[in-house]
Structure formats: C-alpha cells, structure tokens
Chains A and B, each alone.
Chain A
Amino acid sequence: MRTGRRTHLLWAALFSGLCLITAAAARAQSPPPAASCQPTPTPIAAKPAEPDADAGGIRVFLYDADKKPLARKRFYLLRRSAFSAGIDWASMPRRADFLQGASPQLREWLARHDCDSLYCPEFEAEFPEAVKTVPEFKRAYDDGLRKYRNEKLALKWLAVNFPLRNVRSEYFQRKRAWLERAGQQAGKVVSFMTDEKGRAIFTGFKAGDYYLSNLFPFGEGGPVWDCKVTTLPPNPRQMWAVTYLLSPPAKQTAPSP
C-alpha cells in the first residue's frame, strides 16, 4: 500500500529546498525545519460527492520515524498549509526567554522535565522535594504556610504563591497566544491532543482537503509537519483510518538555541 513514495520524494525535495533557504536567512530565530509525512493508505485525490457534505470521520495514527506513537501531542487540522499561511515564525516564544530571575537551583530543576508550565504532573509530583531544595519553592511554601496554617494546603497551592510568574506560566501563555494567531492564519478547524497510542479521531466536519500540523515544534529546533489530509473514506459517512509516519526534517538543521 506504500504508493506514497513519489509524493514522499517530492515533499522531501521541496522541504530540503525550503530548509536551504531558511538556513540562508540567518535570523535570530529561523522558521522551524519542515518535515514530511508518509500517509498509509495514500489519499486519493477526488472530489467529494457534494461539496459541503459531512465527512464521516478520520482516525489518524501518528508515528515518528522510529514507528513510535506520538503520544499526547497537540496537532491542528487546518484549512491551509502551515508553510504557506504567512505565519510569523520569528515570533515563536522560547522557553529560555522566560527564566529571568530564576535561581540556578530552579533552572536545574526545570531542566528535568519537558514541560511548558509549572503545572504539569511531573513537576507537581516533585513539589514536596522542591520546597526543600529550590529557594523559590521554599519561599512559596513558607508564604502558603503563613497564610493557610496548613502544610498540606501550602503544598497543594504552591504554584499560587510561587514568586516568579514568568517561570510559572508566562511561556505557556505566550505560546498559547502565538498558536491562536497561527491557527487563525492557517484556517484552524480543530485542534486535538493525540492519545497515548498516537491516535486521534475527527468527526463532524465537512468533506474536503485539510492539513495536519503541529504548528509549534515539540522540542526546540524540532520540525513542523505539514501533511495533506484528504477526507475520502471509501464510504464518506464512515470512519477512515490513516496512519502517518512523521519523519524527521529532511535535513537536520537544528538551530542553536
């Protein structure tokens, strides 16, 4: 069923070209490297029966190049290709820019997990330890204890009393705002987070062509995918399963952070 070879090559060629251009345009922050997708089965381009017909549903499976599922990752179903929507890639926020005032201990602690805000469960699980070793958390805990006179509460509400808002959630908020704008420009239909098997289901949208993209790289310097999705299940009202193999960027051009 892998007849998508040719398209794959074409994409690869296109994107290596794109990467070359981006490498040339040496900016403070260049656009993320584009990467190709390999759908199985290959979408067959054909017109839907009626232009505004309801599409049944698509179930997409997203795998990385090593065939590992891309679990709990946010993707967008777009009306337009991400790379031709005029998105301002240079204004993408970077985590490193939101660490002003952080102590060395806090920086080290933050580097342990790949989280956009202090609120992710990995961090929360380590709060009890952090109040002992990280000065900012210690302060937040002492503040809480003074206010609520309850150790459990001081720990549970640690983030409320955390002194550095930029570290706590400002990156998350800026990223959210950036994605909102980018999504608008690319004609966002819906966003979704894949489940643990890298799966996502869309239902209740109109038949037509869409693009599937993460819009924002999962890791700094990581790729942005821009996959064409053709909603053409054998029976337009039923669920159609498509697997996407999302390859790494055609040419590794990880910009130095």
Chain B
Amino acid sequence: MKRRTLTLALLLTAAIAGVVYVSSSVSAGAQRRRATTRRSAPAPRARVDYTNFTHSTPAHRKDSCASCHQSPSDNWAQARERDAAFPDITDYPEHASCLNCHRQQFFRGARPAICTVCHTVVSPRSGARFPFANPAEAFARSEKGRASTSEFAVIFPHDVHQDVMARAPSLDENRVRFVRAAFAQEQPVPSKPNSCSVCHETYVKPGQAAATPAPADANAAAGVPTLPAGLLKTTPTGHASCFNCHWQDGGEKPLSTDCAGCHKLLPQGSPRPELKGKDADTQLAARAGFTDPFIVRKLLRRDSVIFAHEEERHREIDCATCHTRIPALSTLDETTLKVPILSCGAGSSCHIGAKPKRILNEEVDKKLADPNFQCVKCHFNLGREKPPRSHLDATGK
C-alpha cells in the first residue's frame, strides 16, 4: 500500500515537473533550453512524457555527467570540417546510458516514444538522429535547434584566465604602436591585439565583407531603424577555445569529461528576459538583418543596442576599460554583464561632462525638461523610459 502511494507520488511529481518544464521553456535566459515542439501535453492521468528529456529530473542528476555523455564521441572527426575538427562531444549519449533505468520504455510497443529524444525515425533498423546540440552552429540551424534553448549556463571565470594568459606588454608591442602612430594617416588602424580576441571576435553578418564602422542612427529616414556595422562581439559557442587546455588527456581541471565543471544547470523557470529583449526587440533584430540565433540573443540582452565595438574610437580602447567588471563577470548574474554608464566617459569625458556639454548630459537635461523626449544616442527602446539612477548620478542630477 505504502509502496503504491510512493510510486504514485513519484509519478505525479514527474508529471508536475513536466508541466513546469513546458511552461518554463518559453521564458528566457543566458542559454538555450531544450523545448521541442514534438512534445504532447501530459495526459490527464499522471504520465511521464518520454519524448522530452530534461536534466532536472532527480534521477538524471544523480550520476556524473560522464555516466551518460561519452567524451570524445565516436563521430568527432566527421562532425566538423577536417581542419576545424578536434576531439569533442558531438553526439547523443549512447543507448547503454539510458537502458539501466529505461529498459521498459525502450521496449514498449512498436514505436517507443523515448526514441524520439535522439532519433528522427523510430525504427529498429535506422540510427538516424537529430543533430546534437554541439557543434552548436549546425544545431541552431536545424528545426530541433530553432525550437530549443539550453538548460545550462557556462561558467567561465574571466579573472583566472586573464592571469593564465597574462603577459607584460613586450618591447615589440611598443614598437608596433610607434610605427602605427607614424603612419596613422595612411593605414587603417588595426584593432589592438589582446587576449580577449581569442574568444571574442567582432561579428560580421554573413555576406558582409568586413565590419566597417558606420554612423549610428537608430531613427534613420522612413522610420526604418538601422544598426551600425561592427556592433556585436561573439562569445564562444563550443569547446574549440577551451579544450586546447582542458582536454581530459593531460589538460587542466576541469577536464573535458567533467561537464559540470563548466556547465551549470539553470534552475527551472529561471527568468530569461532577453527572449523578449530590453533595448532591442525581435523586430529590430530582424529588420537589421540579424538571423544567427546566438547573435540575436546577444542583441536582445543589451542595454545599449546602438553601441558599436568597431566604431573608430571605440576600437582603439582596451576591452577592460569599458568592461570593468571582468573579474566578476558571470552569465549567471545579469548585473555583472553590465557595462557601467560611467565607463562611457566620466573622467575621459567622451560622452559625459557638463562643460562642454556631452551627449549624456544633453539627453538627460532634455528628458528632465520633457518626459516625451526619446534618448536615441545610445538606445533604441530604453530611451523612452525614465532615465535610471545611474544616468542621473553620472551627470550629477
């Protein structure tokens, strides 16, 4: 008797978890979360939806990640072009990792539902599978990829790696700068080399030759907003920039087999505001021609969508000058991603200052005089709102 209630309770919990999962997968977050459209709504009677895998299920959290995920996958050499290939996790966990607990579901009926977590066709003969979430670019283009977001956020402690890759500016670097200064008129100034660009490059839209700086103008003629080129920086989408140091066979900890050393399971239903956007919205992203889902996500997360990294003067500034919170940066905590308004100019007075009046002071003054005034220099949507405390403080209001 006791046993039955327990089983029932367990099943119920699983069902509720399923419902919570379904409703939470529409909200947003740092990463993509698996939320496939293939899922059927849970039946009135408590039943587990085996077409839909989630890592949050207690039984899935019990054992190490490596108990399911094999590293490297057998297909790593085929998963990428030859020159880009490296040993990696590029396929689903194998049957053995499910069978210990799911023997029953694996052998139920002619077309077991559980197969569709990984397979496109349910058949005892075909091994055809959906693309795996890694490599992320191919996955993002697939139907399954478009409909899903990750259940994880990545842990990358920037300050530790800043020291790992630290270097003193060498004599060479000084010499380069000197030469550059001498020929500044003739040559386009290359972006400063730095240890950040290993992992963060300026995003170039496909079909666009290079990121050429263009004037920012959110409210261009005919009401069609444009965004300057050279706007965004990419972030890593896979293991290419990690496993050269963290590979299991001799590398640094966390090793590649220790998935949880870098991937942190997000709490279910954690708020994911960037799906609807802050300063930008999905319409603006579409109009501006951004289609890459990773990049759209970056755009929607922004406070200042107009800011362009490749703008002539911006590109001359060291990354750390604006990204002052690098030591604390965590994609788990949105506040650490903010670029403080103070780095827009207080001290160097590029955009903040009373005499001569800089753009932030000017816009804040206009806004205080007329609540309908829209701030357009740095913002698209947020410019309609009330100026936040940080802006008033920075201008001494």
On whether A117 and B320 interact (CB within 8 A), knowing A71-B169, A190-B327, the answer reads no
Kindly state the interface size class of chain A when it binds its partner. Answer: 35 or more
Chain B residues, CB < 8 A from A192: 320, 324, 326-327
Q: Considering the chains assembled together, what is the distance between the CA atoms of A199 and B166 in angstroms?
A: 16
**Is there an interface contact between B165 and A202, defined as CB atoms closer than 8 Å?**
no
Residue on B nearest A143 in the bound complex, by CB? B250
- Pick the residue among A56, A72, A190, A241 that contacts B168 (CB under 8 A): A72
**Is there an interface contact between B86 and A153, defined as CB atoms closer than 8 Å?**
yes
**Is there an interface contact between B170 and A201, defined as CB atoms closer than 8 Å?**
no
Kindly state the interface size class of chain B when it binds its partner. Answer: 35 or more
**Is there an interface contact between A241 and B245, defined as CB atoms closer than 8 Å?**
no
Residue on A nearest B320 in the bound complex, by CB? A195
Chain A residues, CB < 8 A from B165: 119-121
Chain A residues, CB < 8 A from B247: 157, 160
* CB proximity of B184 to chain A, nearest CB, Å: 17
**Is there an interface contact between A235 and B86, defined as CB atoms closer than 8 Å?**
no
B321 on the interface (CB 8 Å rule)? yes
On whether A57 and B252 interact (CB within 8 A), knowing A122-B167, A176-B163, A193-B166, the answer reads no
- Pick the residue among B167, B321, B324, B326 that contacts A115 (CB under 8 A): B167
- Pick the residue among B244, B321, B342 that contacts A57 (CB under 8 A): B342
A206 on the interface (CB 8 Å rule)? no
**Is there an interface contact between A203 and B324, defined as CB atoms closer than 8 Å?**
yes
* CB proximity of A37 to chain B, nearest CB, Å: 19
A residues lining the B interface (CB < 8 Å): 56-57, 59, 71-74, 113-117, 119-122, 147-148, 150, 152-153, 156-157, 159-162, 169, 172, 176, 190-197, 199-204, 218, 235, 237-239, 241
Chain A residues, CB < 8 A from B319: 195
On whether A160 and B393 interact (CB within 8 A), knowing A57-B346, A117-B164, A195-B318, the answer reads no
Interface residues of B in 226-253 (CB under 8 A from A): 243-245, 247, 249-252
**Is there an interface contact between B347 and A59, defined as CB atoms closer than 8 Å?**
yes
- Pick the residue among A121, A152, A161 that contacts B83 (CB under 8 A): A152
On whether A113 and B393 interact (CB within 8 A), knowing A150-B85, A190-B328, the answer reads no
* CB proximity of B163 to chain A, nearest CB, Å: 7
| B143-161 near A? 1/0 per residue, CB < 8 Å | 0000000000000000110
User: Can you list 23 residue pairs at the A/B interface with Cβ under 8 Å?
Assistant: A59-B346, A73-B168, A74-B163, A115-B166, A115-B167, A117-B164, A147-B249, A156-B86, A160-B249, A160-B251, A161-B250, A162-B250, A191-B159, A192-B324, A193-B159, A193-B326, A195-B321, A196-B192, A201-B347, A203-B340, A204-B325, A204-B340, A239-B347
